[in-house]
Amino acid sequence: MSVWGKVIGGAAGFALGGPLGAMMGVMAGNIYDKKRKMSSTHQGIPNQQKQYQEISSQEKQHIFALSVITLTAKLAKADGVVTQDEIEVFKEKFKIPPDEEEQVRKIFNEAQKTVYGFESIAQQVGDLFQDSHEVLEEILNNLFYVAEADGKISESEINFLKTVSSIFKFDENTFQRIYQARLNDKESDPYKVLGVKRTDNDETIKKAWIKLTKEHHPDNLVAKGMPPEFIKQATKETSSINTAYDKINKQRKVN
């Protein structure tokens, strides 16, 4: 069974509160009700985050998948219309097996109905993965993919993505880096893909490239909680990073 078939039960051992926990309570017959607690703080660290640091990589993967479903469902409503293209690209993109489509669709529909706004959901996701910014980048990267499903990204969708990026505590440079990495080679700005300036020297650019390739290496992402089902998209991003670095070196005639 893939991660999709375990989203509800797979994270049962984690006392997930907040909007995600509330939605899971509805989906799983309120099995979370006894476990859910509103996060309190101890020495400035939310209890939920302290617990999250102690759970297994597999449980993190279930929460990652739940986060993507929920935010994608909210994104699909950003422009007021949920298109079949967005639903189909979600199924294709995330390799959902036919026998698990119904459960994912139920979670997707419940996420659209929940009274929680996408901002509060993004805040919880950002808190959960606050020590794994590269995982948050991959969530935003996947949201871009779904937004592009109908051939264009609307202004309301861009605003949605920028708001999520801000809640994840990404600056404009990081948002542009993720956005530029999604464009084709002719349209993208290689310096923005690497998050560097045109005035930076070769060594600075090389260090930025090495850092990004290490952070977005599949093994690192899986270890930090990204399900294997999402690796294909992460690999595309790594390819864009390498292409950008090669383009800069060619322009600068660096061997």
Where in the sequence is the domain holding 227, given as residue range(s)?
A: 3-252
pLDDT band for position 36 (cuts 50, 70, 90)? very low
Residues 225 and 3: their CA atoms lie apart, in Å, by 12
Asked if residues 205 and 248 have their Cβ atoms less than 8 Å apart, the reply is yes
Residues 6+ apart with CB under 8 A from 135: 64, 129, 221, 224, 225, 226
Could you tell me what percent of the chain has a pLDDT over 70? 76
**What are the pLDDT digits (tens) for 104-155?**
788 888 888 888 889 999 998 998 888 889 989 999 988 988 888 777 788 9
Closest CA to 86 of 140, 149, 139: 149
**Both structure tokens of 44:** 């400035």
Burial of 42 (0-12, 13-18, 19+ CB in 10 A): exposed
Please state, for a pLDDT cut of 90, what percent of the chain lies above it. Answer: 31
The Cα 75–Cα 80 span in angstroms is: 9
| Average pLDDT rounded to a whole number, residues 194-200 | 95
110: which residues sit within 8 A by CB, 6+ positions away? 23, 26, 27
Please name every residue paired with 45 in a beta bridge, in sequence order, or none if there are none. Answer: 42
Cα 217 from chain centroid (whole Å): 15
Q: Give the residues across from 46 on adjacent strands.
A: 41
Phi, psi of 194 (to 5 degrees): -90, -5
Q: Can you tell me the mean pLDDT for 9-34?
A: 62
Strands (DSSP E) along the chain, which ranges? 41-42, 45-46
Half-sphere exposure of 13 (CA within 13 A, CB side): 11
35, pLDDT greater than 70: no
| Interatomic CA distance for residues 133 and 245, integer angstroms | 22
Per DSSP, the three-state class of 117 is coil
Q: What is the total count of domains within the chain?
A: 1
> HSE-up of 168 (CA within 13 Å, CB side)?
28
SS3 41: strand
**Predicted confidence (pLDDT) per residue in 85-95, tens digit:** 666 767 776 77
Average pLDDT, the chain: 80
3-state DSSP assignment of residue 46: strand
